[in-house]
Amino acid sequence: MNFSIDNITRANIKKVSPYSSARDEFKDFSKEMVFLDANENPFENGVNRYPDPQQILVKMELAKLKGVSIHQLLLGNGSDEVLDLLFRAFCEPKEDNILTLPPTYGMYKVLAEINNVENKEVLLTENFQPNVNAILASANKNSKLLFLCSPNNPTGNSFTAKEVEKLLNSFKGIVVIDEAYIDFSSQKSWLQRLSEFPNLVITQTLSKAYGMAGIRLGICYASSEIISILNKIKPPYNINELTQQRAIDRLVKPLEIKNQITTILNQRTFLINALKTISFIEKIYPTDANFVLVKVPDATKIYHQLLQQGVVVRNRTSQLLCENTLRLTVGNEQENTKLINALKTI
């Protein structure tokens, strides 16, 4: 496809001169130096110095793990910061628009409202797949971002590669594939095809499979051209030192992560089989994530009944195409057993 990042980047962003922090100007830690350049407190306590603004050590671990270059990586204070940077880089307020595919992750819509960018919603099909023809028909010259959440939240299913590829080849703006749940999916990550599509941006997170929701670390993979634009506008020290340290500690334990993912997938199978024995559950939707969406007669009533028994699930009945559904996160064996026992008493 004929895609030019220059054509969709906001004019004012092209002119931005990024802030140069003290650690951007000098970051050679290979020899003993006296640092008197950043107005820091000189008393060492492990966090008295500013963190690496480019998070090189974290990126090196991720690049090794995912098979990409560190120049194709941007880290954010949660994936939401990454998504917000995409809006600010490519969407002109009051002029441009984005496309989202409900039911989907709600922050896309919120970020559009915050950035004063029109959100064009194109419903998924009844099978929760992208309606490619309707999406392309809704897009125009001001459509800058298309958000595909796959595996999708709250439905749990992955989008078929054929439909996604059609969109990557035909949509004139940036296609953002949100892969927050990709580690639980049988489908391959689109990271393997990153170099094929200059308009492809992939977001992932350490919050789900990696068990690091509390450190707030989101990851963006894209061409070096897109990453360089996002680097121009990100806050200089957006990832704090403690987050960087905890991320590295976790990333160097791939076997532990793999074992936990396997346990979650086994528990997902256990949960689905147990849900089949609950008489009032009308439908269990296919899932590639660490949660299961189920249809029930009265989601709000059952949600409150579960609360009374000490179990918190997510009521998704207000979402388009999700009337009377509950989203059940896969917990550990004890938690899943408590959920099933609670459902059996309703």
Q: What is the pLDDT of residues 293-339, one digit of tens each?
A: 999 999 999 999 999 999 999 999 999 999 999 999 999 999 999 99
Q: What is the phi/psi pair of residue 152, to 5°? A: -85, 145
Distance (Å, whole) CA 55 – CA 45: 20
pLDDT, position 154: 98
- Which positions ≥6 away from 261 have C-beta within 8 Å? 183, 184, 209
Distance (Å, whole) CA 288 – CA 187: 8
pLDDT more than 70, % of the chain: 99
Q: Give the pLDDT band (50/70/90) at residue 1.
A: low
163-186 per-position pLDDT tens digit: 999 999 999 999 999 999 999 999
pTM of the predicted protein model: 0.96
Minimum mean pLDDT range among 1-5, 19-23, 70-74, 130-134: 1-5
pLDDT, position 48: 96
| pLDDT greater than 90 at residue 223 | yes
Distance (Å, whole) CA 112 – CA 175: 15
Nearest-5° Cα angle at 222, 221 to 224: 120
pLDDT, position 29: 63
61-110 per-position pLDDT tens digit: 999 999 999 999 999 999 999 999 999 999 999 999 999 999 999 999 99
Instruction: At 294, list the tokens.
Output: 């189920």
- Which positions ≥6 away from 121 have C-beta within 8 Å? 99, 100, 101, 102, 109, 320
8-67 per-position pLDDT tens digit: 999 999 999 988 888 888 777 667 889 999 999 999 999 999 999 999 999 999 999 999
Assess contact for 220 and 174: CB atoms under 8 A: no
